[in-house]
Amino acid sequence: MNKMNQRLNFTHLDALESEAIHIMREVAAECTNPVLLFSGGKDSVVLLRLAEKAFRPSHFPFPLMHIDTGHNFPEVIEFRDYRAKNLGERLIVRSMEDSIQRGRVVLRSEGQSRNPFQSITLLDAIEEFGFDACIGGARRDEEKARAKERIFSFRDEFGQWDPKNQRPELWSLYNTRTHPGENIRVFPISNWTELDIWEYIGREQLEIPSIYYAHEREVIVRDNSLVPVSYLVQPKAGEHVQNIMVRFRTVGDMSCTCPVASHARNVEEIIAETALTRITERGATRMDDQTSEASMELRKREGYF
Amino acid sequence: MSVVENVGLDHAELLRFITAGSVDDGKSTLIGRLLHDSKSIFEDQLSAIARTSNKRGMEKMDLSLLTDGLQAEREQGITIDVAYRYFTTPRRKFIIADTPGHEQYTRNMVTGASTANLAIILIDARKGVLTQSRRHAYLASLVGIPHLVVAINKMDLVGYSQDIFNQIRSEFSPFLQALGLRSVEYIPMSALAGDMVVERGDNLNWYSGKPLLDYLETINTEHDINTQDFRFPVQWVSRPQTEAMHDFRGYMGRVESGSVKVGDPVTVLPSGLTSHIREILFYNDTLKTAFAPQSITLTIEDHLDISRGDMLVSSGGQPEITREFDAILCWLSEQAFDSGRKYIVKHTTRMVKGLIGRIDYRVDINTMNHEVADTLVMNDIARIGMKVQQPLVIDEYTKNRGTGCFILIDEVSNNTVAAGMICNS
């Protein structure tokens, strides 16, 4: 009777969870010097819980790392530090500000989105520490190019992804081999959707940054998007600032990440909204992904996550 | 009722399937229709494809554009690699591996099929069973997909004729029966018009079976995994070495098949040492039993030397421990097989060096005939004999997918060059 109950309880989330744990353990066992990319965003929060399930009672066999664009929401940075400390795991932060100081990144203007330049700081950090595998929270349902990316995604010594020359990936036999200087991006939650993430956050009662929940915020309506007002974004002539209830579906660069109007104050209400939502996560919230139909693919080719 | 029958994978909430067919069969339109009618397409995706359809001078929105991924493919208008799609209904979550049907892309189909429970083979009702339909069905059976749906599409272009449907079914049926699949279902449909995909529509009233989505939501996949033979390849040994857990040794891994309970006798292979299961741990929980495909941590009663690559087995039939075995191989690499070369064999959590000792025959996948071969090039399927440097703990692929499959990695380029399925009888 006991067993029957267990079997009936094995849900699609359990299947996805078990797959992700298996992937993380393969990375730990086969890669020499892996790192987990932790931004404080909801997908990487899920990654941390999966890492706990994969490796406790031991410490994680890899450090956490965040590439700080300097354009992050302060609530997210605060949460990032709190969560890493709380877990007792080592957090490495490398900032784009340093890359700018050193002349590695050259921006046209202060308010410009920093997302495309993260790759430079990331690649520099990979070289600095000699990481051969970066575990990230990307999902295939986010975007067309990602839909074709492997779980173990090989990058050459320039950090480039070659979509036409990917290693075949069969069963759950992952090829983790690299030459010196090359590395692998690993996406344990490739097969999760936005809804799966929220259901998992609800089920595991995971803490997430407060801006994922509905709150009052000053925004400007610009091209059907709600653009958050900050020191980076100020109203142009003719635009007026509104104070409305919003929540963020993704938490990236402050200059180009837009919230959606929402009254969802807890995970259950977000799940209800997500199940009904008619716009993709990136379509709704990332202005930089809309510039061309192929924009994510181009960024990935250049070394983006 | 025996204990083993009671446990097993409950796939009820997750179904992985592949779609095989050429561009002309309307495969992309079918996937677009499944996503569209099950309300899994977002407004911004719809408006993007509406814009593109318009730009290309099409009158109606082209649902097939939803599944075109990479820039190069959009330019050429063909699908060149496996793409994964997701949709959820109140009954199930679905993962679609969308694989191209064009001849040179056998490797993509094998890749997508390796994790699937079900394959949808598309047939254009006007053209009937083609060489490639047989090829797709053969590859699906070769990779061990238990369930097949033959989607006879474009019924709108043959006046929704029941005769044509019956004709195609009776033509294809003897071939499919010989492949020994667990289930085969034939469904007439028009992906373009939406008949019998998600909705029944009004044009195929003579068909008494379920529409495609209904069928996918309800097909029983409980017996797709081996529930009898416990197999636990060790992935990682946990030794926290803290004050409180000084002697703790946890063997971490995923149950590939069967189940295990506390107190069960276990044998460690290839060493053959034995012990009993002391605890089954999962994060903060202590479990009484575990079953495939759970990722867990096991502790045992005795101090044994166990490391990654070893396998814990207990109930049911024993695997074979060997340095030589036969396999069906699919060559995946653009670089042809080199008989003088050693390859890295990755099997479960074990990596050893190995070589292909002989090629018994190559399969002509259009005729299924066996032919003599002394080399293998991309997309070739062949029966071969493998020799490996250290023993592997193997099962036949048809009995156990997880412990019967392996890949070959080129030592120099580090590319995955072949996929193998063990067949020792």
Q: Given pLDDT bands bounded at 50, 70 and 90, which one contains residue B76?
A: low
B1 is a domain residue: no
Mutate to test the interface with A, among B3, B9, B10 (most CBs of A within 10 A): B10
**Nearest-5° Cα angle at A48, B232 to A264:** 125
ω before B270 within 30° of 0 (cis)?
yes
Token couple for B51: 């814009």
Give kind and range of the element (H or E) at residue B338.
none
Instruction: Please tell me whether residues B36 and B82 are part of one structural domain.
Output: yes
Per residue in A223-244, pLDDT (tens digit) is 888 999 988 888 888 888 999 9
Residue B265 has a pLDDT of 95
Instruction: Please tell me whether residues B207 and B296 are part of one structural domain.
Output: no
Instruction: Please tell me whether residues B24 and B128 are part of one structural domain.
Output: yes
Instruction: Please tell me whether residues B395 and B273 are part of one structural domain.
Output: no
Residue B299 has a pLDDT of 97
Residue A160 has a pLDDT of 83
Does the pLDDT at position A195 exceed 60?
yes
Gap between the Cα atoms of A251 and B36, Å rounded: 28
Instruction: Please tell me whether residues B281 and B306 are part of one structural domain.
Output: yes
B75 is a domain residue: yes
Gap between the Cα atoms of B182 and B135, Å rounded: 18
Closest CA to B417 of B346, B327, B326, B362: B346
Per residue in A19-38, pLDDT (tens digit) is 999 999 999 999 999 999 99
B289 is a domain residue: yes
Token couple for A183: 């590395």
Partner residue opposite B42 with nearest CB, options A21, A173, A279: A279
Specify the number of domains making up chain B: 3
Residue A1 has a pLDDT of 37
Instruction: Please tell me whether residues B67 and B209 are part of one structural domain.
Output: yes
ipTM over 0.85: yes
Gap between the Cα atoms of B196 and B198, Å rounded: 6
ω before A74 within 30° of 0 (cis)?
no
Does the pLDDT at position B414 exceed 90?
yes
B416/A169 Cβ within 8 A: yes
Q: Are A125 and A94 in contact (CB under 8 A)?
A: yes
In this prediction, what percent of chain B has a pLDDT beyond 90?
64
Window 166-185 of B: residues touching A by CB (8 A cutoff) are none
Chain A residue numbers with beta carbons less than 8 Å from the beta carbon of B254 are: 18, 21-22, 172
Helices A194-204 & A42-55 angle (0-180, nearest 10): 60
Token couple for A86: 């709380």
> A98 to chain B, minimum CA–CA distance in Å?
34
Mutate to test the interface with B, among A16, A171, A179 (most CBs of B within 10 A): A171
B4 is a domain residue: no
Gap between the Cα atoms of B316 and B258, Å rounded: 8
> B93 to chain A, minimum CA–CA distance in Å?
7
Gap between the Cα atoms of B314 and B259, Å rounded: 9
A3/B289 Cβ within 8 A: yes
H-state helical runs in A205-292: 267-276, 281-285
Specify the CATH number for the domain of residue B119: 3.40.50.300
Does the pLDDT at position B141 exceed 50?
yes
Which of helix, strand or coil describes residue B29?
helix
Task: Determine contact: A54 vs chain B, CB below 8 A.
Answer: yes
What phi, psi does B346 have (nearest 5°)?
-105, 115
Q: Which residue has the higher pLDDT, A294 or B189?
A: B189
B5 is a domain residue: no
Window 56-95 of B: residues touching A by CB (8 A cutoff) are 68-72, 74, 80-86, 88, 92-93, 95
Please name the residue of chain A whose CA is at the shortest distance from the CA of residue B260. A3
B6 is a domain residue: no
Task: Determine contact: B349 vs chain A, CB below 8 A.
Answer: yes
What phi, psi does A294 have (nearest 5°)?
-105, 15
Q: What is the dihedral of CA A288, A292, A298, A304, to 10 degrees?
A: 20
The total number of residues written for chain B in this structure: 425
Task: Name beta bridge partners: B241.
Answer: none
A10/B9 Cβ within 8 A: yes
Q: Are B311 and B399 in contact (CB under 8 A)?
A: no
Closest CA to B116 of B67, B149, B69: B149
Instruction: Please tell me whether residues B326 and B303 are part of one structural domain.
Output: no
Q: Which residue has the higher pLDDT, A203 or B44?
A: A203
Chain A residue numbers with beta carbons less than 8 Å from the beta carbon of B85 are: 147
Partner residue opposite B14 with nearest CB, options A15, A168, A277: A15
Token couple for A197: 């993430």
Gap between the Cα atoms of B89 and B210, Å rounded: 16
> A10 to chain B, minimum CA–CA distance in Å?
6
Instruction: Please tell me whether residues B34 and B133 are part of one structural domain.
Output: yes
B374 is a domain residue: yes
Lowest mean pLDDT among A62-71, A102-111, B221-230, B328-337: A102-111
Partner residue opposite B71 with nearest CB, options A28, A280, A297: A297
Specify the CATH number for the domain of residue B385: 2.40.30.10
Give kind and range of the element (H or E) at residue B389.
strand B381-394
Token couple for A270: 């977000």
Q: Are A65 and A36 in contact (CB under 8 A)?
A: yes
Q: Given pLDDT bands bounded at 50, 70 and 90, which one contains residue A257?
A: confident
B294 is a domain residue: yes
Which range marks the domain in which residue B116 is found? 11-218
Tell which of B268, B285, B314 closes a domain. B314
Tell which of B218, B248, B280 closes a domain. B218
Tell which of B314, B334, B361 closes a domain. B314
Per residue in A93-138, pLDDT (tens digit) is 998 888 878 877 777 776 677 777 778 899 999 999 999 999 999 9
Token couple for A179: 């030459």
Sheet architecture: strand order including A225-228: A225-228, A215-222, A242-247, A260-261
Q: Which residue has the higher pLDDT, B242 or B124?
A: B124
Instruction: Please tell me whether residues B45 and B149 are part of one structural domain.
Output: yes
Residue A181 has a pLDDT of 86
Residue A186 has a pLDDT of 97
Please name the residue of chain A whose CA is at the shortest distance from the CA of residue B40. A278
Instruction: Please tell me whether residues B34 and B168 are part of one structural domain.
Output: yes
Residues B277-299, mean pLDDT to the nearest whole number: 95
Lowest mean pLDDT among B48-52, B157-161, B299-303: B48-52
Gap between the Cα atoms of B104 and B295, Å rounded: 36
Closest CA to B419 of B233, B180, B144, B143: B143
Q: Cβ–Cβ contacts within 10 Å for residue A229, how many?
A: 16
Instruction: Please tell me whether residues B145 and B18 are part of one structural domain.
Output: yes
Task: Determine contact: A21 vs chain B, CB below 8 A.
Answer: yes
Instruction: List CB contacts of A74: < 8 A, sequence separation 6 or more.
Output: none
Instruction: Please tell me whether residues B141 and B111 are part of one structural domain.
Output: yes
Token couple for A239: 């635009």
